[in-house]
Amino acid sequence: GAGVSQSPSNKVTEKGKDVELRCDPISGHTALYWYRQSLGQGLEFLIYFQGNSAPDKSGLPSDRFSAERTGGSVSTLTIQRTQQEDSAVYLCASSLVSSGGQYFGPGTRLTVT
């Protein structure tokens, strides 16, 4: 079946602009995660959603970052007033709650100029 998809694949924006990144998880996966990966670095957890529970926002680096998940499926990560240090690849992953294994999307490469 279809894997996790993300859009856009690449986004170049000017400092100070807002951006929205989209994630479509694997159908039936109730858990959805957002991570950030800077060049040559590991994965930094941002936020996760599980079913109808309140999201865990503990990894969000500032209040400029927010995320929503509508209808328990598609999620949007919004970064307001982008800064150059926000430049990174933003990865989304989904999983079956019962299994644990997370399956990643291809990521969105964000470049803030």
Chain residues that interact with other proteins, rule: CB under 8 A: 31, 33, 35, 41-43, 45, 48, 50, 53, 56, 91, 95, 97-98, 100-107
Rounded CA-CA distance 23/33 in Å is: 10
Closer residue to other proteins in complex, CB, 15/45: 45
| Minimum distance from residue 36 beta carbon to other proteins (Å) | 11
| Residue 78 identity (one-letter amino acid) | T
Task: Enumerate the H helices of the chain as residue ranges.
Answer: none
| Minimum distance from residue 80 beta carbon to other proteins (Å) | 26
Closer residue to other proteins in complex, CB, 16/51: 51
Rounded CA-CA distance 72/110 in Å is: 25
| Minimum distance from residue 112 beta carbon to other proteins (Å) | 20
DSSP state of 70: S
| Minimum distance from residue 31 beta carbon to other proteins (Å) | 5
Cα dihedral 30, 69, 22, 64 sign:
negative
